[in-house]
A and B are shown apart, each in its own frame.
Chain A
Amino acid sequence: MRAFRRGLIVVFVAAVAGAVVRLRGKGGVPPTSGGWRELEAPDFR
């Protein structure tokens, strides 16, 4: 029973830690500066 409770506590703590890391993590910002420009006909001459 004690081992089971410990297991539950470990799972709970891991879930909380994972949620905190996921919520605080930064994302969605491209690691680039600049952008894409479509090549037009003059680029092919």
Chain B
Amino acid sequence: MSRVLLVGAGAVGGRAARQLVETPGVEELLVVDARPKRAGDVAALMGDRATTVDWQPGTPIPEGVDVVACAVPAGDDVTIVRDALEAGVPCASATDDTTAIQSLLELDAVAAERGVPVVVGAGLAPGLSDVLVRHAADGLDTVDDVNVARWGAAGEASASTVRVALADRGAELRDGRVVALVRRGGEELIWFPNPVDARGCEPVSNGLELLLQTVPELARGTIRFARAEKPGWTFPRRADPVNEWGAIRVEVWGTRGPVREPVVYGAIERTEIATGTVLALTAVALAGALPGLVERRPGVHGLGRVVVPRAFLAELARRGVKVAVFEGVPVA
């Protein structure tokens, strides 16, 4: 039986808490938040197995914790992961911020040396998108081009990350390297599953390193985000489902035998729910409460590198996060 420390009780943390307490192998959930009242509210909603604990990032991890799950604003998780490494406790982070991901990946050597597995980017994209890329790649002989797109943001912190990402020039993968784009822009219309449908998405750098871990030596790869902001004014019936529905589309090009073909997967769910579920599953898998979903390899990894895609997707589907495959001729 596992004891989980959940740091962050916001939009994602709240949903992750629900998934964690509903996992049979989780004996106790400790909830921490910068706002203690919010942590208390979430713990109270989760029943007897959840409680709050007086803990601050930068201090020793509480005794008996088997895994740490981070659902905190960008950057805060670096300190928490350092604490987890110090205590030798596995950790999963839902961050989607480029700088935070890069900072966490720099801890790889320390994590490997201490024999601690850490998974970063355990959210919608990066996260579930990397699982789908890996699942598609497993069905192909070779992979040369991967295009990931995401619509939606899980809470205010995530919306802020999207704004920062889209204000940047963005980057793409070329011949196994992350290459910064010359200028911003390059919006493309991406067709997500219903009801999100078509959305303009721009290239970002968030999660490219994790995509490269998923498919090493990838010749070309892009990740695009849509603007998850409510417009200042719109006709009432044209209001966008901002911060409600989240969607990802993963297009993987490669060869199967002599034929070059695409595999297109998509997922649609409330953004916070999808992100919280992926984070919770990753955390309990690292704790050993749900074995067989994630390889518990020491070091700092993206989810795509260590996941067992079929088992992970099956467990996600059991929890209501469904994945779809596009059957036809994709154009965008």
Contact surface of A with B, Cβ cutoff 8 Å: 30-41, 43-45
Contact = CB atoms under 8 A, between A and B. Distances in A.
Interface stretch (B21-29, B62-70, B71-79, B306-314): B306-314
Contact of B327 (A31, A37, A44): A37
B198 interface: yes
A41 to B, nearest CB: 7
Contact of A31 (B197, B317, B325, B332): B332
A39 B311 contact: no
B94 to A, nearest CB: 23
B317 A34 contact: no
A33 B328 contact: yes
B310 A44 contact: yes
Given A32-B330, A39-B324, 11 more contacts: A30-B191, A32-B326, A32-B331, A34-B326, A35-B327, A36-B194, A36-B326, A37-B326, A38-B324, A39-B323, A45-B310
Nearest to B249: A36
Smallest CB-CB A-B distances: 5 pairs:
A34-B328, A44-B314, A36-B324, A31-B331, A44-B310
B193 A36 contact: yes
A44 B329 contact: no
Interface residues of B, number: 23
A44 B311 contact: yes
A39 B325 contact: yes
A15 to B, nearest CB: 19
B314 A41 contact: yes
Nearest to B132: A39
Contacts of A30: 191, 197-198
Interface of B: 191, 193-194, 197-198, 265-266, 310-311, 313-314, 317, 322-332
Contacts of A34: 326-330
A30 B324 CA distance: 17
Given A44-B314, A44-B317, A45-B310, A37 B329 contact: no
A45 B308 CA distance: 12
A38 B322 contact: yes
A20 to B, nearest CB: 21
Contacts of B193: 36
Contacts of B322: 38-39
Contacts of A36: 193-194, 266, 324-327
Nearest to A36: B324
Contacts of B197: 30
B293 to A, nearest CB: 12
Contacts of A32: 191, 326, 328-332
A37 B324 contact: yes
17 contacts: A30-B197, A32-B191, A32-B328, A34-B326, A34-B328, A34-B330, A35-B326, A35-B328, A36-B324, A36-B326, A38-B322, A38-B323, A39-B313, A39-B324, A40-B317, A44-B310, A44-B317
A25 B326 CA distance: 28
Contacts of B325: 36-37, 39, 43
Nearest to B322: A38
A43 to B, nearest CB: 8
A31 B311 CA distance: 33
Nearest to B318: A41
A43 B193 CA distance: 18
B269 to A, nearest CB: 12
A40 B313 CA distance: 10
